[in-house]
Structure 1
């Protein structure tokens, strides 16, 4: 069961749970959970803003949209202390702690890979800048960047941005898993070495194609996007 979600796919995302999840898995009436949130609102606000999303009611006769509270780790743990200490609540709390801990560890690993990758990116940038091929190829920086992801992950930068909702002003490396970051770093290192050998773009591309894709990933469009 997924008790914890991330606010986005970025490596600086924040993990959270919802009032609905607490209600379902702690076996507490949703109105009770929401009442506790409203009752202790100012306590919860000490640990961050109280975020929420709204969903339309399924009532065919209409009705007000439902508010779904989102709680960060501290808010969720505090709220649970204000609930009755039943067996389902205790079991849920243990499971929630484990998932928050696992999610934070995964984010820390991604952040560490991101920081490590900065040096490889800098080395690649410097190698492109010093390459004789730069004078022959007006778009060497752009094409090398595209080649990195195609050879590392088997997908184009355009596809990756579309599926993961990455804007053109954002950095793709902010959205990579540790395994994906490792593959990207490996290809960047290889291209840097090939540029240092004075190979041009086509020669580098041919050399990389011999080894194949380092870490093939599959991209699945969100349901709404896939239906168009």
Structure 2
């Protein structure tokens, strides 16, 4: 059920809910080419609900040959479903697809809210670092150093691995736009610890040790 629909990007600033015509065909017991032709025929109607996106995906049984795979947003997918015969597989898939879109929509909203809540707190940390007695040693890079430290501990991944969640390198995006709502909650808890230690006058190494050690123990999340 989880693969019926998906987020188009791990970057929460531009992620959209979508499914594709291959999923619709396979789950409805139809031929992929038939669903694709149905979309081609009704392209103008579908584009009233947004840009009709597609990817050129390699065929598994051919050498270098690619096929167009349409990506459909929620409204486009529901419109396509109304054009299909109401067979038992189609009816079951309609219900499952609606539920999956609802789940993803809640997940997307949770991650976007978590990101929005974090931003004002980030300004407080930014100000604390700027006024920190150890700040001049490395200049403005301290802000990046702290955010990278907190994000890598919160996710359990390196900075490179976090950025690798998004394969679109055409646009630079903040590191924190690529982490989940659960990871953002851990990030905020770690941020509070770092902020408190900075305000207490601690140097970087003790802060790093304290933050890193938390990754080796269960994280206590506070609201």
TM range (shorter): 0.7 to 0.9
Question: 1:96: which partner in 2?
Answer: 97
- Residue 90 of structure 1 aligns to a residue whose secondary structure is helix
Q: Does 1:113 align with 2:114?
A: yes
* 8 Å Cα contact 1:4-1:17 kept in structure 2: yes
Alignment of 1:150-165 (within 5 A): 150-165=152-167
Encode CA deviations 1:186-219: one digit per residue, 9 max, x unaligned: 1111111111111121232233344444779xxx
- Is the 8 Å Cα contact of residues 162 and 178 (structure 2) preserved in structure 1? no
Partner of 2:37: 35
Q: Is the 8 A contact 2:155 2:179 kept in 1?
A: no
Separation of aligned partners in 2, 1:52 and 1:125 = 40
Query: Do the aligned partners of 2:9 and 2:166 also contact (CA within 8 Å) in 1?
Result: no
Cα distance between partner residues in 2 of 1:137 and 1:178: 31
Matches within 5 A, 1:111-150: 111-138=112-139, 139-150=141-152
Structure 1 gap ranges (5+): 217-228
Aligned residues of 2:151 and 2:176 also touching (Cα < 8 A)? no
Provide TM-score, normalisation by structure 2. 0.85
C-alpha distance in structure 2 between counterparts of 1:152 and 1:215, whole Å? 12
Deviations 1:17-43 (A, max 9, x none): 111111111112223312321222211
* TM-score normalized by the length of structure 1: 0.84
Partner of 2:47: 45
Question: How do 1:1-228 and structure 2 match up within 5 A?
Answer: 1=1, 2-11=3-12, 12-57=14-59, 65-138=66-139, 139-165=141-167, 169-213=172-216
Gaps of 5+ in 2: none
Secondary structure in 2 aligned to 1:70?
strand
